[in-house]
Amino acid sequence: MAKKDCPIENTLKLINGKWKSVIIYQISKYAPCRFSELQKLIPDCSKRMLALQLKDLEEASIIQKRVYSTVPPKTEYSLTEVGKSLVPVIKSINQWGKKYTKK
């Protein structure tokens, strides 16, 4: 497999990191989703990490963000079409995890 041509590596770059797929999964379930909602849904992920990963996902066109210029501010995240196409992949990860991983 030539450099940078591995679809698995390329995909993992998008959904790793290491919260991205959990974020995508939660947005797919609860979109439109506010920043603070995601914090509650994924308590293990710090504020800073959540912000960074959301930015990465937005740049990769997997999610889109809507900002309301109110005070205090309000943002809403939802999946793009590309993001939606990832959901079955993440669901298969979720299914496997349910079956094979114990706490």
Applying CB under 8 A, the residues found at the interface with its own copies are 1, 3-12, 14-16, 18, 21-22, 25, 41-44, 82, 85-86, 88-90, 92-101, 103
List, as own/partner pairs, every contact residues 50-58 make where C-beta atoms lie below 8 angstroms and the sequence separation is at least 24, other chains included. 50/19, 50/23, 53/17, 53/19, 53/20, 53/23, 54/23, 56/17, 56/20, 57/20, 57/23, 57/24, 57/83
Size of the site for DNA (CB under 7 A): 25
Site membership for DNA, residue 54 (CB under 7 A): yes
Residue 73 binding result from DNA, its own copies, none, given CB thresholds of 5 to 8 Å by partner type:
DNA
Site membership for DNA, residue 74 (CB under 7 A): yes
Calpha distance 27→50 (Å, rounded): 12
Q: How far is the CB of 93 from its own copies (least distance, A)?
A: 5
Residue 74 binding result from its own copies, DNA, none, given CB thresholds of 5 to 8 Å by partner type:
DNA
Where along the sequence are the contacts to DNA (CB under 7 A)? 16-19, 34-37, 44-49, 51-52, 54-55, 65, 67, 71-75
